[in-house]
Chains A and B, each alone.
Chain A
């Protein structure tokens, strides 16, 4: 009895292979899946009257998510090679079938799932915005090696295949249709009928556009196109992602030498890539993320599903959270101070939904339905039946305390109350609510619709059911939750602030801003510290530094100087001037560093590596410290939080993983006293010698 699929033949000779991995909610491929597919192909090939084959899935919302990475993790090099070979062989058999073959894509179709689809003659997909279709292997530092790299470029052409393969981005069905990855979109209920129509009518197979065919046929043109793509990718990845170059190479081999040559190249490439640090780090993060989503506090799985929630405050964060909840099918009572504010909040939510519609994530009617789930109120009514309330008002303790006082009085006895604060004490808010057991932190990042991380803050008094409910809610809105303790800055801001403070200090010592930013981008940050400061807004940054200064950026007086820039109206991107001047071209604002750092001596002279070591050193130091204090449960949690919350170079494997790799930190120890950094002597003008716990308390009481 097969465990991975079932297979039926109807009276017309059409075979349907339905992927259906036993005991799982999604289909992933193991060696056993391949064996069963092999056996199914034997039966089909032995059927002289076979009219065609339809591949589909019995899982709701999932066609197949590719190879089972948990199974692959256990494989040695030998087993891995056998697995790759078996996959290539089975999918080549599918491609070689004499009868018509159709993939009927009823849900997510990723990696090996799409490689199976590409081995078929045609692909039809259900027209549902939630479905993701793509080859995300490069995000794991590898490439599609069951013929996907080769077949995708031969099916849709160089110009469309390369970006998809290099970025690993996934498509909605509509995007996949216009890229030529799927042949047709149909209503979900008609999927099987449509697949049968393809078997019956055998329309022409999809071919790349004329330019792409030309590029594939003319070696010189092909070489030029590939070289250009490679150059662009390298400029973006700084060579940190070895998969990129290999993908270009394999595409070249497949287009020039045919499918067999392409497959051989895929296999060699994937085995080589699997042995790189980048791949190991990316895979590890993938598992961390999976485990974080599956694990969580003991009772997260039992937490009752939230149907009705309240959000207090509809500013950027509040509207973002409201949007996330409404899009996930949760009704939101949105509390605002005035009708004008409520109106603005509704407009913000509507804009985010419009974005979803434009991106194909939602249909127009789905967006309208989501909008209708948002019920604004300016009088604090309607909170009695909500199961979960999230506060997202101005970052001021008195304002937030007032909100929690009201929430405590107005919500039902089992409702959870969460604060989206990034810097205030959850314990203080719990006290205001009157029932601290029901109060937790739920720290979303800006912009909420793009940032995958949520810090679930467990204060000392937080009850386990509340923590579990917060964790479950974060999952329900599609985020990855990381549980942290109620300490200033939690994890992400705790490591970010000293990093930014150090950068400002460095600028005060004469380091060139553009050079520092470039160095950190080359290290693998999505943007440099000054670009980030300008983006955050210097007023916001000044506020954060002011609040967190003493405890986080230990003894750093430089950040306090940001206020001088704010006083001049230099707020960063939003005011057109910050560390940079934003015009048609961006230029460094040379007038700023002397303002922030009045004692700047022009003492800094270090190369790129010195900059990277010093800034990352500040971050690692904070990471080690917070781990020692138990703010995060593990170094893994810090890794996950820094990658998802800061965009910290995923190929580095996260902050602590990087620290371990370069030998400055190990599990159970504080950071090595200090990283060997340039300009050490200038670094800390007035070291604060009080014990960390005491410092924390002082700044905390504000």
Chain B
């Protein structure tokens, strides 16, 4: 278990931007992950007025690291103009990677080991490569070693059509090898266990689209968004490609259940979108932020990670929130705004039921009573990943960035962002504005 608070030293978030989030294969498909991260980092530094040379380190969350950029944090930092002598590190806790980078900086700053850190997360799911099957290696190696024409011919003859059928890297990445389940199957498990109907899931998905659309129309993201100039034509991309203003309940109801065709209830419509995007945040020692008059969006108060059965990974937020509240001696009611990442509608709804269930609290959390009811008016108020998409390495950082801005807009004190993590974990972070 991981849990810590920053009671001894304040950790401020003093700026940040995100790129638009664009559904896989759309507006940002041509932009490599490192470029997305570069633009978010560069813009964050420019807007904050902090020179890259003052950073202690750059930490970036990323899940499927691009083959052409081992340690993408380092490659992106240099591309963003951060001086070469500033170190950089990529962190990976699957879906929580972006949040992990913030926690990482918070822990270092709280311990007095750093004063300024550039963090964030990035993912280009459009650019996850296709792979050749493993049993192609033999003939490939023989071909490379072949010297004479005859040897070459024999090596070529060993190839079979199946060798050329690519393996989709994305599918591999979304499958948990510990239990051999693709993520959607774990959502089906929770839907059955908590008895969540297809209608409930679709209604939740519709709400996500409506809220996200309203937030876009009200310009709630625009202020902390950097325009990406994509591809060779430098086409400006300045809005999320995901929220559907015209989404109807009927259309959602028509979609097939893809993870369990006969008895399932999870569809692409009530699951998160597969998306490209990047987020950068600047974290600073609270004292330094005050002394320099930096614009403090909020403070990181505590962070918790919990782990559980990989097949029920969607409940991760419940365990993590439990730890977070225990650590800070707060209750659900003390927190004004909530973000629980929408990996699947079924999964978020399952979390809400588990949190409100005394029996679940006793059996799994060691509590006497349930955590409590979390009303919809305080949860994912600007929509979530079902509408905005889930670029896995970036989402944790987006939740924090969007939540901080919403907290400022509503002028409320506390917010929690949490997400479930493929592989059977949950992460939650507590943010405060004063």
Contacts and interface: CB of A to CB of B under 8 A. Distances in A.
The answer to whether A and B come from one shared complex is: yes
Interface of A: 308, 331, 333, 339-340, 342-343, 346-347, 350, 369, 372-373, 375-378, 381-382, 384-385
A341 to B, nearest CB: 10
Contacts of A339: 227, 236, 238
Nearest to A343: B234
16 contacts: A339-B227, A343-B233, A346-B229, A346-B234, A350-B232, A369-B79, A372-B38, A372-B42, A372-B80, A372-B81, A375-B43, A377-B43, A381-B47, A382-B43, A382-B49, A385-B50
A381 B42 CA distance: 12
Contacts of A343: 229, 233-236
A368 to B, nearest CB: 9
Interface size on B, as a range, is 20 to 34
Nearest to B230: A343
Contact of B49 (A340, A373, A385): A385
B81 A373 contact: yes
A340 B236 contact: yes
A347 B234 contact: yes
A634 to B, nearest CB: 40
Contact of A347 (B49, B81, B233, B238): B233
B228 to A, nearest CB: 10
A499 B50 CA distance: 50
A376 B46 contact: no
B47 A350 contact: no
A17 B44 CA distance: 51
Given A378-B227, A382-B47, A331 B235 contact: no
B229 A382 contact: no
Nearest to A384: B49
Nearest to A345: B234
A448 B187 CA distance: 59
Contact of B51 (A340, A347, A385): A385
A347 B43 CA distance: 19
A655 B397 CA distance: 63
Contacts of A373: 81
A560 to B, nearest CB: 40
A381 B229 contact: no
Nearest to A347: B234
A378 B81 CA distance: 20
A381 B224 CA distance: 12
Contacts of A372: 38, 42, 79-81
A378 B80 CA distance: 18
B44 to A, nearest CB: 10
Nearest to A368: B79
A382 B39 CA distance: 13
Interface in B47-92: 47, 49-51, 79-81
B79 A375 contact: no
Nearest to A376: B229
Contacts of A308: 51
- Nearest first, the 9 closest Cβ-Cβ pairs linking A and B are A382-B46, A339-B236, A384-B49, A346-B234, A343-B234, A372-B79, A331-B81, A381-B47, A375-B42
A340 B236 CA distance: 7
A374 to B, nearest CB: 10
B37 to A, nearest CB: 12
Contacts of B236: 339-340, 342-343
Contacts of A340: 236
A342 B51 contact: no
Nearest to B49: A384
B41 to A, nearest CB: 10
A385 B48 CA distance: 9
A166 B51 CA distance: 49
Contacts of B233: 343, 347
B225 to A, nearest CB: 11
Interface string B233-252: 11110100000000000000
A375 B235 contact: no
Nearest to B39: A375
A484 B48 CA distance: 37
A331 B50 CA distance: 14
